[in-house]
Amino acid sequence: MPDWSPSKYLQFADERTRAARDLLAQVPLTAPRRVVDMGSGPGNSTELLVERFPDAEMIGLDNSPAMLEEARLRLPNVRFDMADAATWVPEPGTDLVFANAIYQWVPDHLAALERVAAALPEGGVLAVQMPDNMGEPSHVAMNVVGLGGPWASRLRGKPRPPLPPVAKYYDRLKPHLGALDIWHSVYNHVLDGPAAVVEWVKGTGLRPFLEPLTADEQTEYLKRYLEQIGSAYPPRADGKVLLRFPRLFIVGVK
């Protein structure tokens, strides 16, 4: 798959960063030694961590060269490295692993999170946020259009699987953590219209659907997808649309 686009991701930077702020607000640490931002992207979440913990050794990790380049420009005094969330575990002395909207992309991410939790020192914190929106119209429509066009054979199986039930996270992570808090928050993002919803997901969820298509097919796919979105997200009183966005939060203390 082509590399992530920092500019596309940052098109809705305030809305995307809000969940990171909400996650960070629940981290019960005052002076961690080492903080890792797993899936640091263009550095917007890392910036929050630097502001909260200015004296900590700060490390940002991502598997996207473009995102890492953008993050280094944004925060030149922070160390940003390439890493694969599917296999990475924290070094000894890592007091906080912060993962904002990354593990939903990792196959068998429950096993990956178990390994991270097990490697934390006593008092260490695992803080995770993941979109839990595969049942929302924005994502259901991706598959409807994908399976309803001439590209169906290439797009079958492209949606990422929905997140497991909360109970599974609890049962898998609790043996490695002394305290574990899991909750959902539902955001209602005010966007300019259906086209803005399409722009939002072009930088994330639509990527696996668009990548296998030719340029002409992408144009046709997006046309059909916009029609679906227009029906699913009608204008509100001011002409805007509301993008409902459920997210899952996990904060565990070793």
- State which residues form the domain around 131: 6-253
Residue 121 located in a structural domain: yes
Q: Rounded to an integer, what distance in angstroms lies between the CA atom of residue 9 and that of residue 11?
A: 5
What was the pLDDT predicted at 4?
Answer: 45
Number of domains the chain is built from: 1
Q: What does the pLDDT read at residue 12? A: 62
- On whether residue 153 sits in a domain, the answer given is yes
pTM: 0.92
Give me the CATH number covering residue 53: 3.40.50.150
Backbone φ and ψ of 39, nearest 5°: 75, 50
How do 241-253 and 179-191 pair as beta strands? antiparallel
CA atoms of 154 and 88, how far apart (whole Å) = 31
Look at residue 70 and tell me if it is in a domain: yes
In a domain, residue 55? The reply is: yes
pLDDT at 152: 95
In DSSP notation, 86-138 reads TT--PPTTEEEEEEES-GGGSTTHHHHHHHHHHHSPTT-EEEEEEE--TTSHH
pLDDT attached to residue 14: 79
Segment (H or E) for 245: strand 241-253
- The Cα 53–Cα 107 span in angstroms is 31
The verdict on residue 139 lying in a domain is yes
Residue 58 included in any domain: yes
User: Is residue 191 a part of any domain in this protein?
Assistant: yes
The confidence score (pLDDT) of residue 159 equals 76
Planar angle of CA 38, 134, 193, nearest 5 degrees:
95
Q: Name residues of the chain where pLDDT drops below 50.
A: 3-4, 8-9
pLDDT of amino acid 187 = 96
Q: Provide the mean pLDDT of the chain.
A: 93
**What digits encode the pLDDT tens for the residues 8-25?**
445 567 787 899 999 999
Domain assignment of residue 1, yes or no? no
